């Protein structure tokens, strides 16, 4: 199947709290109540030899959702089935994205799920993507600002989430202006998406950058969330389960996942997974 087909596998998604706090530029990452990856390794789940593949991320539904939920996310489902065909089991865990990247980079987890190539260019990526993201900018419903290129952000305070990558162009703007609190605010800690929407609803920030599909899913499944206004799209990018650069079997695992994902595309199983989330099948996009 052509690479174009791979790009189309997730071009199907619909359009579109804990108490919030005012973000500041470069705040510290809040401590999390989660099981340490060291405990997995110490408990016998070696990240470089065992058939158990430990994958981590913060919830980013429908791409990857809450670990242990009835639906853990279509990317988790695809990866789990693709790896199972070669005898591996997938153990999915939740923690902040910044911490998931850091611990996986150190080899404490095998992989992260929901990664863009710009998130972690040093990671080992499969050739075939497991998902796709559409990155847009959102404002309070009363805000009439419209995104018209990166320069149009200069008179706005842009709210971002610690450790997230968005697009190469937007990442560069954030890095350049991260020390300017009038332009960039970075939110850390638990439940950053819902907290960000709370800040936006109370007009404590001007613009929030988020994935269209995550926004649509959140509004659909939580009627209590105040619907923001979409002010324009920044870009689209493929999303992957990406493996640790510190583990010797990462290249093999990325190949196995890529081949397994392609088989699931070819035999129609990807369609069934998408449909289980109420999402259109691949064929419906043609």
Each residue's pLDDT tens digit, 145-200:
999 999 999 999 999 999 999 999 999 999 999 999 999 999 987 788 989 999 99
What is the b/e burial string over 209-246, where b = at least 16 CB atoms within 10 angstroms of the residue's CB?
A: bbbbbbbbbbbeeeeebeebebbeebebbbbbbbbbbb
Please tell me the pTM assigned to this model: 0.79
Q: Where in the chain is the domain with CATH 3.40.190.10?
A: 33-132+240-285, 133-236
- Which CATH architecture does the domain made up of 133-236 adopt? 3-Layer(aba) Sandwich (3.40)
Q: Please write the tens of the pLDDT for every residue from 66-123.
A: 999 999 999 999 999 999 999 999 999 999 999 999 999 999 999 999 999 999 999 9
Task: Give pLDDT, residue 76.
Answer: 98
Rounded CA-CA distance 281/147 in Å is: 31
- Which CATH architecture does the domain made up of 33-132+240-285 adopt? 3-Layer(aba) Sandwich (3.40)
Task: Give pLDDT, residue 130.
Answer: 93
C-alpha R_g of the chain: 19
Q: Please write the tens of the pLDDT for every residue from 212-240.
A: 989 989 988 888 888 999 999 999 999 99
pLDDT at residue 11 greater than cutoff 70: no
């Amino acid at each position: 199947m052509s690479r174009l087909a791979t790009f189309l596998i997730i071009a199907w998604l619909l359009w579109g709290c804990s108490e919030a706090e005012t973000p500041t530029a470069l705040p510290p990452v809040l401590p999390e109540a989660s099981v340490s990856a060291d405990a997995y390794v110490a408990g016998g789940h070696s990240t470089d030899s065992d058939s158990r593949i430990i994958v981590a991320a913060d919830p980013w539904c429908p791409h990857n959702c809450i670990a242990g939920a009835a639906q853990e996310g279509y990317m988790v489902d695809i990866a789990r089935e693709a790896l199972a065909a070669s005898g591996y089991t997938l153990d999915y865990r939740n923690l902040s994205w910044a911490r998931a990247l850091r611990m996986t980079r150190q080899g404490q987890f095998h992989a992260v799920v929901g990664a863009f190539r710009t998130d972690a260019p040093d990671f080992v990526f499969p050739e075939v993507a497991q998902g796709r993201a559409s990155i847009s900018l959102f404002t309070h419903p009363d805000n009439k600002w419209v995104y018209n290129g990166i320069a149009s952000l200069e008179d706005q305070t842009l709210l971002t989430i610690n450790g997230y990558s968005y697009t190469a162009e937007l990442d560069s703007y954030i890095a350049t202006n991260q020390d300017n609190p009038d332009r960039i605010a970075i939110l850390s800690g638990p439940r950053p998406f819902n907290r960000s929407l709370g800040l936006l609803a109370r007009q404590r920030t001007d613009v929030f950058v988020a994935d269209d599909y995550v926004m649509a899913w959140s509004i659909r499944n939580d009627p209590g969330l105040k619907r923001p206004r979409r002010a324009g799209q920044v870009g689209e990018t493929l999303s992957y389960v990406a493996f640790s650069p510190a583990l010797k079997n990462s290249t093999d695992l990325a190949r196995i996942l890529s081949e397994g994902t392609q088989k699931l595309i070819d035999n129609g199983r990807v369609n069934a997974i998408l449909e289980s989330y109420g999402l259109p099948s691949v064929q419906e996009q043609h």
